[in-house]
Amino acid sequence: MRPFVSALVLAAGASTRLGQPKQLLPLGPTTLLGRVVAEVSATSALDEVVVGIGGAAAEVRRRVDFGGAKVVENPEFTEGCAASYRTGIAALDARAEAVAVLLGDQPGVDRAVIDTVVGEWRRTRDRIMLASYRGREGHPLVFARALFAELVALRGDKAAWKIVDAHRESVRRVPVDQPLPRDVNTWQEYEALLRSAGGPEA
């Protein structure tokens, strides 16, 4: 029986640099967060998808198609992404042997990369596994259950990377021959994403 692996999509940010909820920015027939959730949900390697929301939560619930994903609300979203780990990991299925962390503002991470990284984790059961995009570390970050308590105990932003840096000897990188996917934090980054995707209807 294959080990149960959950996805945790971090999408609770307040979008302070953008000035409006980036989760709801139009992207093709859906929204920025809707695109990420659809891609993560389309994987074959993941057994459940948990999405952590916070900023503009009521509107995000109303306008984003979450499909079969479990949505959890982080009331402390202004305290950085570490608060979303506490909320999200508490919501994972009790069978979860690992969690694959993804970003709700990074629609360029595709299902094939997620399947490859999670599949490799199942083969090796390393404590930490991540994608290496032409030598640049990125998501998904996969953490074995042994590190859940450390994730929950973190404070502030860039939380998962603090664990990666603290356990460098345990990190396994899965090579991906693609550019590192963009985050969307500013209008310039959103416009660049639209250009690369061929416009808002892409």
pLDDT score of 125: 95
Residues 6+ apart with CB under 8 A from 60: 11, 21, 23, 24, 33, 53
Measured CA to CA, the distance from residue 110 to residue 131 in angstroms comes to 11
pLDDT score of 78: 59
pLDDT score of 202: 41
pLDDT score of 169: 94
Q: What pTM did the predictor assign? A: 0.91
Per-residue pLDDT of the chain (202 residues; tens, 9 = 90+): 899 999 999 988 766 667 778 899 989 899 999 999 999 999 999 999 999 998 788 899 999 999 999 999 987 765 666 678 888 999 999 999 999 999 999 999 999 999 999 999 999 999 999 999 999 999 999 999 999 999 888 876 667 888 999 999 999 999 999 999 988 888 888 898 888 865 444 4
Angle at the Cα of 76 from the Cα atoms of 138 and 155, rounded to 5 degrees: 55
